């Protein structure tokens, strides 16, 4: 009874701030407003099937996928280096890596404006070498750069936490059996680190596909992503019904991706980790 009593505040919090909002979003997605009240319909979901909105969805998924892939390519070697037994002062290096996350997300994104704008730091350096200013902002590259910069730690930390727990005797056993460093990595280290890889992919892809601050600032409002579409429906167009329908669709996509990642994660669980 005491444990149940202590859990009541948590359940109340979940009901008020999680369950009730989800029910409201689902209700708005399945209704439209009329003079006589709300009418249940699937028109909001049918509206999303128009080519213009499917194009926005595809652009969001493609940019998020590219950003996730780049984060994996950059993050895995970084995590591997940080988890290396030969690496000294790894706590200090991890501190430097996590330090930018302590800064406000919006401020970190704004900082890239001063670096990438036409009269920014990068173009100023290029002008000293006689190079004409380059258009670095308001394109896919700027949006991807912002995503990679903001979400890279979410790829590195899960992989690092798994790599550092690998039993080193397994690696030594592979080396004693004649395996070189490449085979040790391909046959031992990488398979054992897959749970961290899948967790990192999920943690990067989900916020990247729904972000709207990065695309608004670094994309200059020229790149409508699914997050911008949802925000505009609630703050500008005031069509909460269509905005809720798009939110439900994104929740389904994210849940499917989490289910796929969880399936592969469970298949790799217990592969020699301590």
For 224-269, the pLDDT digits (tens) are 899 999 999 999 999 999 999 999 999 998 888 888 877 766 665 5
With CA atoms as reference, report the closest residue to 149 among 92, 206, 185, 111.
111
> What pTM was computed for the model?
0.87
The count of other CB atoms within 10 Å of the CB of residue 54 is: 11
Per-block mean pLDDT, blocks of 10 residues, the chain (274 long): 76 92 95 90 94 94 95 94 74 78 85 86 85 86 93 93 88 87 90 91 92 88 85 92 95 86 63 39
| Phi–psi pair at 39, nearest 5 degrees | -125, 130
pLDDT of the residue at 86? 66
Domain presence at residue 236 = yes
The answer to whether residue 207 is domain-embedded is yes
Long-range contacts of 36-45, Cβ-Cβ distance < 8 Å, separation of 24 or more: 44/241, 44/242, 44/244, 44/245, 45/245, 45/248, 45/249
Alpha-helical segments (H) within 164-272: 168-176, 181-184, 190-210, 213-217, 226-235, 240-268
Sign, Cα dihedral of 169, 172, 176, 179: positive
Domain residue limits at 198: 51-83+103-268
What is the rounded distance in angstroms from the CA atom of residue 265 to the CA atom of residue 194?
A: 7
The Cβ-side half-sphere exposure at 163, using a 13 Å CA radius, reads 22
The answer as to whether 141 is a domain residue is: yes
The verdict on residue 247 lying in a domain is yes
Task: Determine the 3-state secondary structure of 158 from DSSP.
Answer: helix
User: Is 90 inside a domain boundary?
Assistant: no
CATH code where residue 110 lies: 1.10.3720.10
pLDDT for the residue numbered 274: 34
Q: Could you tell me if 98 and 153 are in contact, meaning their C-beta atoms sit under 8 angstroms apart?
A: yes
Structure-derived torsion over alpha carbons of residues 230, 234, 239, 240, reported in degrees to the nearest 10: 90
- Summary count for the chain: helices (H), strands (E): 14, 2
How many residues are given for the chain? 274
Measured from the Cβ of residue 67, the count of other Cβ atoms closer than 10 Å reads: 28
Round to whole Å and give the CA distance between 122 and 113. Answer: 11
Q: Note whether residue 123 is domain-resident.
A: yes
Residue 174 included in any domain: yes
The answer to whether residue 8 sits within a structural domain is no
Residue 268 is predicted with a pLDDT of 55
Number of domains in the chain: 1
pLDDT at 5: 76
Q: What is the pLDDT of residue 133?
A: 82
């Amino acid at each position: 009874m005491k444990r149940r009593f202590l859990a009541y505040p948590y359940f109340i919090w979940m009901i008020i701030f999680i369950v009730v909002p989800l029910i409201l979003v689902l209700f708005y997605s399945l209704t439209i407003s009329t003079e006589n009240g709300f009418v249940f319909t699937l028109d909001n979901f049918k509206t999303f099937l128009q080519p213009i909105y499917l194009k926005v969805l595809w652009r969001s998924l493609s940019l998020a996928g590219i950003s996730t892939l780049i984060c994996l390519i950059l993050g895995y070697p970084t995590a591997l280096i940080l988890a290396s037994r030969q690496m000294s002062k790894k706590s200090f290096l991890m501190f430097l890596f996590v330090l930018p996350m302590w800064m406000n997300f919006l401020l970190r994104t704004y900082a890239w404006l001063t670096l990438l704008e036409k009269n920014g730091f990068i173009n100023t350096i290029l002008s000293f070498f006689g190079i004409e200013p380059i258009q670095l902002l308001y394109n896919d590259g700027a949006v991807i750069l912002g995503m990679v910069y903001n979400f890279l730690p979410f790829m590195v930390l899960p992989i690092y936490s798994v790599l550092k727990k690998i039993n080193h005797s397994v690696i030594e056993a592979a080396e004693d059996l004649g395996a070189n460093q490449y085979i040790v990595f391909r046959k031992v280290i990488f398979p054992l680190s897959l749970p961290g890889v899948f967790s990192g992919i999920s943690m990067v892809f989900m916020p990247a596909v729904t972000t709207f601050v990065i695309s608004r600032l670094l994309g200059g409002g020229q790149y409508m992503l699914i997050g911008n579409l949802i925000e505009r429906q609630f703050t500008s167009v005031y069509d909460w019904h269509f905005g809720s329908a798009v939110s439900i669709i994104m929740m389904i996509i994210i849940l499917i991706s989490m289910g796929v990642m969880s399936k592969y994660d469970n298949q790799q669980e217990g592969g020699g980790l301590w």
